[in-house]
Amino acid sequence: MRSRNSIGRAGLAALLLLSSSPSHAADTALETIEFRIRIEPVFHLETDSKQAGIVQLGPLTPGDRQALDTARIIVYTNLRRPYRIVQYLGQELMSERGFSFQKVKYSVSNGIHGGHSEVDSLQPLTTEHTVIFSNKEGVSDQFTLSYFAAADEVIAAGHYRAPIVIEEETRSPHHLQVVG
């Protein structure tokens, strides 16, 4: 079962004004109604992952080729301006015993509504802000992040955790948790 995490809210307000406008024709009655609608500006991200906001890699044992998990990112916007999505680790991936793990890589799909992956091949997941996706049309879109971890070297046993931050390049962050 999939869970969803969401940040941001959208609003829609409609106002119907009735105004009497007398008819110029004596034998017909005419009323005009002015209709107004106000649509609130929206930009928010939603993640859809197997476990509410968690990317779970593992369990991994030495010699395993790799572990994989995915998260679907949904962008809701009505601003009609180009946007770019960045990703980074909020802190280094660390175990409860203080060991670090730096062998997580990711890939990014193209969007289903015209957005493009800014990642050509598997990239290491780091604490650096990295542009991963863009939509030049500025419309709502969705794409998939795939995370991979390989146990190609001796890794200290433990549960490794760190937040993955996904945000619009100049907006507030949306957090996923990566655990291994």
Average pLDDT, the chain: 81
Q: Cα-flanking dihedrals φ and ψ of residue 121, to 5°? A: -150, -175
Prediction pTM value: 0.75
Supply the pLDDT for residue 7. Answer: 40
- pLDDT (tens digit per residue) in 102-125: 889 999 999 999 999 999 999 999
Are the C-beta atoms of 7 and 76 separated by less than 8 Å? no
Break the chain into its structural domains and give their ranges.
43-179
43-179 belongs to CATH 2.60.40: yes
Question: Is the C-alpha dihedral spanning 11, 39, 74, 160 positive or negative?
Answer: negative
Supply the pLDDT for residue 87. Answer: 95
- Rounded distance between C-alpha atoms, residue 106 and residue 161, angstroms: 16
- Rounded distance between C-alpha atoms, residue 93 and residue 147, angstroms: 13
CA distances from 66 to 20, 58, 113, 154 (A): 71, 8, 30, 14
The pair of three-digit structure tokens given for residue 9, joined into one six-digit string: 């809210």
Question: 158 or 53: which carries more pLDDT confidence?
Answer: 158
Residue position matching structure tokens 């829609």: 12
Partners of residue 165 on adjacent β-strands: 88, 175
Angle made by CA atoms 168, 163, 70, in degrees to the nearest 5? 75
Coil/strand/helix, residue 172: coil
